[in-house]
Amino acid sequence: MITTIVWIAAALLLAAVYLSWTAGRLDRLHARIDAARAALDAQLLRRASVTQEVATAGVLDPAASIVLYQAAHDARQAEEDQREVAESELSQALRAVFAESAQLEAVRSAPGGEESVRELAAAVRRVPMARRFHNDAVRAARALRRHRTVRWFRLAGHAPFPLAFEMDDEPPAILADRTEPDREGH
């Protein structure tokens, strides 16, 4: 009798430790998603700001300026559920405007243009990076949350089911070209 109780107690204890450990794991994953999302937001905002600066600098032709300004403005102002579409449209606008290197040269030749081009190139390269890290965290959390233990014991609490950020983040080819060595960030 006593041995049975001891065995049951030991089993319960073990199960409790396992549950607590899994909950800790999940908690850490949620924290990672939050950090990754903040980083992604920062990069998207940075990209929109630099685009707006370039659009209002008056170095591009009026049509390109308007297209870029509008897309950047929409991306910054978009509601949460429209965000992915608006950011994708900004990517498309950037690709359309910088499809030819003449536009890039125009920006570069303006006073302070070299700096703007560097910032823009950094921004369009970092958005896909940040998005990949975010979606990687989301995937890990989703995999764990689909686990039986997590579902049955409701270890995720009230945290919303994490969603990946899906958008077209393909940078303009001439800005993503790495054969031109740059000195970004220093």
Partner 1 sequence: MRIGIVCPYSWDVPGGVQFHIRDLAQHLIGLGHEVSVLAPADDPPRPGGRGGAPTPRPGGRGGAPTPLPPYVVPAGRAVPVPYNGSVARLNFGFLSAARVRRWVHEGNFDVLHIHEPATPSLSLLACWSAQGPIVATFHTSNPRSRAMIAAYPILQPALEKISARIAVSEYARRTLVEHLGGDAVVIPNGVDVSFFADAEPKAEWQGREGENTIGFIGRIDEPRKGLPVLIRALPRILAERPGTRLLVAGRGDEEEAVADLPRELRGQVEFLGMVSDEDKARLLRSVDLYIAPNTGGESFGIILVEAMSAGAPVLASDLDAFAQVLDGGEAGELYANEDADALAAAAVRLLGDPERRAELRDRGGRHVRRFDWSTVGADILAVYETVTDGAAAVAPDERVGLRARLGLARD
The answer to whether 88 and 168 have CB atoms below 8 angstroms apart is yes
Q: Which residue has the tokens 């396992």?
A: 18
Phi/psi for 163 (5° steps) reads -115, 140
- Shortest distance, CB of residue 172 to partner 1, whole angstroms? 17
The single-letter code of the amino acid at 137 is A
Q: Which amino acid makes up residue 176?
A: A
At its nearest, how many Å lie between partner 1 and the CB of residue 135? 6
**Among the residues of the chain, which ranges form H helices?**
2-56, 62-77, 83-97, 101-109, 113-145, 148-152, 173-176
Spell out, one character per residue from 113 to 142, where the chain touches partner 1: x when CB under 8 A holds, - when not. ---------x--xx-xxx-xx-xxx-xx--
| Closest-CA residue to 64 (of 18, 107, 13, 110) | 107
For the bound state, the minimum distance from the C-beta of residue 15 to partner 1, rounded and expressed in Å, comes to 9
Least distance in Å: CB of 73 to partner 1? 24
Which of 8, 13, 66, 99 is the binder for partner 1 (CB under 8 A)? 13
- The CA distance from 75 to 136, in Å, is 23
Q: 8, 35, 45, 163: which one contacts partner 1 (CB under 8 A)? A: 35
Using the rule CB under 8 A, give the single segment among 2-10, 12-20, 73-81, 167-175 that binds partner 1. 12-20
Q: Which residues bind partner 1 (CB under 8 A)?
A: 13, 16-17, 19-21, 24-25, 28-29, 32, 35-36, 38-39, 42-43, 122, 125-126, 128-130, 132-133, 135-137, 139-140, 143-144, 178-186
